A and B are shown apart, each in its own frame.
Chain A
Amino acid sequence: MKNVSYQNIRLSLINSLLMLGLFFNTSCMAANSDFVSQEEDRINQINSVIMCPVCPGESIDQSQNEIASNMRSIVTDLVRQGKTEKEIKDYFVGRYGPVILLEPSTDGISIFVWIVPPIALSFAMIAVALAVVVMRKRQKHTSLNMSHDVAGEIISDEEKEKYFAVINRISNE
């Protein structure tokens, strides 16, 4: 018993070293956030949620288009003027309509976008719970489903010896 737990400790050490090795650059990563100014980060953040009006499905951050880069400079100006993210988004919505935002708002019909996922999740959890309960009940209440019960009834003990010998022989080959 002692042997086993010693080996287990060794195992956990090996494992944690692995994890450590895996994440040894995490300190570098965490420091990454210092490489770029906070302002620039904000600008990039806002750019990634505003759509390019002429490009199919791309944000102005992604798109190479001239219109996109114009819009990016507008965002930069607005950020430097001290506007909040909401104000900047409202500005663009005012010019282009709500379709300009990559993230649906929470008013009007858009609220459904956000409501449905948690509802679906709840349904899913209930469905799993129900299924598990039903399947468990099916197993419990039908004793016939336990093969060894059936085997006990139908197969005599000496036959069982015979069969088990064969099965053991075959499976240990």
Chain B
Amino acid sequence: MLVMSVIAISLTLAVLVAYPIIRKIASKSPFPEDESSLRADLERRWESALEGLRHAELEMSVGNVSESDYLWLKQVHMAEAALVLKTLEISDKEKGFLIKRIPSGSGYEEEELS
């Protein structure tokens, strides 16, 4: 009885781990979006810029910021969002040039230009 159940379980496990490799289900399914791609990064920055805008509005309505700080914040975030849009629009060649100038803090340059 014990031996039977052990064999049964072991077989199930073996099948379980072999299946994805043999059937190659993962490779056949569509390629997932790379979390490190330029597009993914731009998405994060876009989201961050829009959240920043929304946040500035909230802080203003709640009374935590003065008018001048509010305007400054809006300006900064709009510029960030605009940069993202601009980056999306330009062609590959220009993209390489632009990436060098955008502050990103990590090795875009090596990847995109090569």
State the A residues within 8 Å of B (CB): 142, 144-148, 150-155, 159-160, 163-164, 166-167, 170-171
Contacts and interface: CB of A to CB of B under 8 A. Distances in A.
A160 B82 contact: yes
B81 A154 contact: no
Q: Is the interface of A mostly helix, strand, loop or mixed?
A: helix
Of the listed residues A144, A145, A150, the one surrounded by the most CB atoms of chain B closer than 10 A to its CB is A150
B83 interface: yes
B85 A163 contact: yes
Given A163-B86, A166-B85, A150 B53 contact: no
Contact of A171 (B53, B76, B79, B86): B53
Q: What size tier do the contact residues of chain B reach?
A: 10 to 19
Contacts, number: 54
Nearest to B87: A154
Of the listed residues B75, B85, B98, B101, the one surrounded by the most CB atoms of chain A closer than 10 A to its CB is B85
A155 B83 contact: yes
B102 to A, nearest CB: 7
B83 A147 contact: yes
B101 A154 contact: yes
A164 B101 contact: no
A153 B54 CA distance: 26
Nearest to A160: B82
B32 interface: no
